Chains A and B, each alone.
Chain A
């Protein structure tokens, strides 16, 4: 273990990704039934959202309590395309025919028939909304609780909007019965597996991207903004822009996760993107450890898995358990489960020598400035 901690970080990263790939691409498909594997695919979508939250909240201090909005935008963009593809060219999606209120496809649906447009929209639409909201909010120096409340309000507003426009959005039911995924039949277990592999690959790719962001100079600056925004301003940076980047990237990840969720689960609906799911995303991240790279991923998967397992056995108690878990972590383990690893490591090492009280004043005198 000690050898691992002293290893060159680049080598360690490669090993970590290799191990992750082994688990996701070899172990999980070999060990899990089709049903369990499709559940894992769903959890990994939540994990992708969590990676973004880890960046924005863990490193940037932005309590993103409205990621459901971006997850939903990505999900609906993908589902709209898949519904149109299922219906075939020139036809309306089945639920529109069913409600029979519309004579033709609404204009804002039409571009989603184009696969390239729809795919781009799953990521760019959430990023655009985040950019608009973030610009308004961060420039005006809204922070902390107000930012969180605003995010929640946006999630609530989006749900209300979707439910209110039943004829064109599917209302409370959402967009369901999605059968095909770019020509592949989603009822076929082989294709379900393919979807799982795509999701796993995207997760690993985004982890690599996020790792680079966290280690870059931008990543250091983001932590500086989190810890002392005012000080950063006095160094000549505009903290609003620094936060905006993390927020927009996190929104893009949530959008992509929503888009992948649709073929994995076959549905997107208001219940999956409102206030409660938005909070659940954050709980997973808090439990796993928001500031670590892998903490959010493990937390999201663990919490989603626990939710399935426990609500199968004790229906009705999950909400309380989840709340209790959140409170316990926040109160006693603010670094999440990921910080346990660090604690164990520190226990084993000898305590560091105390810092000398006075510094190298002599040096100051000698060095010409």
Chain B
């Protein structure tokens, strides 16, 4: 399976008359790390929901050659589209190993499913190392620290063999070192995948984004490299000023 690019045309999501995503066109090339930013309520999460089949949408979303709109959530996932959630969604009563093993297993046949896991599959062992949780593989996911939960989510995407990763605020609530580690992990992941990251954190964005799309009120406001977007007066007006004010408020 070669990494495909993401290509969105005229995407529109309407909730009871409220237009949350309003005619978005978006292209992400294979191997890119695209950051999706925008003020609260801009429609970032809704866009990811539409791509992954969680909400109904009109327009077109292509991953490689395949149209995703209109397919079931689990079918889209099987095509190699993986996502994380704004709040970590793990199987809290299962261990780290079990979480990863389930994520790795959507293609397993009935016979394998009905048997007990005898050894740790290679891809799972690999992911355990990659996310730094090898020493905690028998820990219940629910008892992990916040940052570890986010990594486990990323690890699940790795073993799921997702070629397009959609990460919804993966570093929210992480310490500075944890953010650095996560960013570097993303860089490695992107080598043979396509990564879209929703993020509010500007420092993190400057460090790790390759390209940026700014959403505002359901529309694309600006797009380009970090420098281009930062220099865009429209962006400064609606978003960067807003975020700066916000982070000052948080730090105060």
Which residues of A are at the interface with B, using a C-beta cutoff of 8 A? 212-213, 215-218, 220-221, 223-224, 227-228, 230-239, 355-365, 367-369
Contact = CB atoms under 8 A, between A and B. Distances in A.
Contacts of B89: 228, 230-231
B74 A221 contact: no
A369 B191 contact: yes
A220 B74 contact: no
A217 B132 contact: no
Interface of B: 52, 54, 72-74, 77-78, 82-83, 85, 89-94, 98-99, 101-103, 105-108, 112-117, 129-136, 139, 143-145, 147-148, 151, 156, 158, 160, 175, 177-178, 180-182, 184-185, 188-189, 191
27 contacts: A212-B114, A212-B116, A217-B102, A217-B113, A217-B115, A217-B116, A218-B114, A220-B101, A224-B102, A231-B90, A234-B74, A235-B106, A235-B160, A236-B78, A236-B106, A239-B74, A355-B145, A356-B145, A358-B175, A359-B133, A359-B148, A359-B178, A360-B135, A361-B180, A364-B130, A364-B131, A364-B151
What 5 A-B pairs come out closest when comparing CB atoms?
A: A236-B106, A363-B132, A236-B77, A369-B188, A361-B181
Given A228-B89, A235-B102, A237-B106, A220 B181 contact: no
A35 to B, nearest CB: 41
B185 A238 contact: no
Contacts of A227: 91-94
A368 B116 CA distance: 30
Given A232-B102, A355-B139, A369-B185, A224 B114 contact: no
B187 to A, nearest CB: 9
A359 B102 contact: no
Contacts of B99: 224
Nearest to A360: B132
A359 B117 contact: no
Contact of B147 (A228, A233, A358): A358
Given A216-B114, A224-B94, A233-B74, A359 B145 contact: yes
Contacts of A238: 72, 74
A222 to B, nearest CB: 10
Nearest to A230: B89
B77 A216 contact: no
Q: Of A356, A359, A367, which is in contact with the most chain B CB atoms at under 10 Å from its CB?
A: A359
B103 A367 contact: no
A318 B110 CA distance: 44
A238 B76 CA distance: 11
A41 B50 CA distance: 55
Dominant secondary structure at the A interface: helix
A236 B108 CA distance: 11
Contacts of B147: 358-359, 361
A343 B207 CA distance: 48
A231 B91 contact: yes
Contacts of A232: 102
Contacts of B105: 217, 221
A216 B111 CA distance: 10
Nearest to B142: A227
B68 to A, nearest CB: 13
B148 A237 contact: no
A213 B178 CA distance: 38
A234 B77 contact: yes
A368 B188 contact: yes
A79 B107 CA distance: 43
A369 B145 contact: no
A230 B84 CA distance: 12
A364 B185 contact: yes
A235 B152 CA distance: 13
A357 B174 CA distance: 11
A98 to B, nearest CB: 48
B136 to A, nearest CB: 8
A256 B137 CA distance: 40
Contacts of B90: 228, 231
A368 B158 CA distance: 13
A221 to B, nearest CB: 6
Q: Which of A224, A231, A239 has the most CB of B within 10 A?
A: A231
A359 B113 CA distance: 31
A215 B160 CA distance: 22
Contacts of B191: 369
Contacts of A230: 54, 89
A368 B189 CA distance: 9
Contacts of B103: 235
A358 B178 CA distance: 8
Contacts of A212: 114, 116
Contact of B181 (A213, A224, A365, A368): A365
Contacts of A239: 74
Given A217-B114, A234-B82, 11 more contacts: A216-B116, A217-B113, A232-B102, A234-B77, A235-B103, A236-B74, A360-B132, A361-B147, A362-B132, A364-B130, A364-B151
Given A217-B108, A237-B106, A358 B130 contact: no
A52 to B, nearest CB: 17
A247 to B, nearest CB: 16
B73 A216 contact: no
B129 A363 contact: yes
Contacts of B135: 360
Contacts of A363: 129, 132, 134
Contacts of B160: 235-236
A215 B158 CA distance: 25
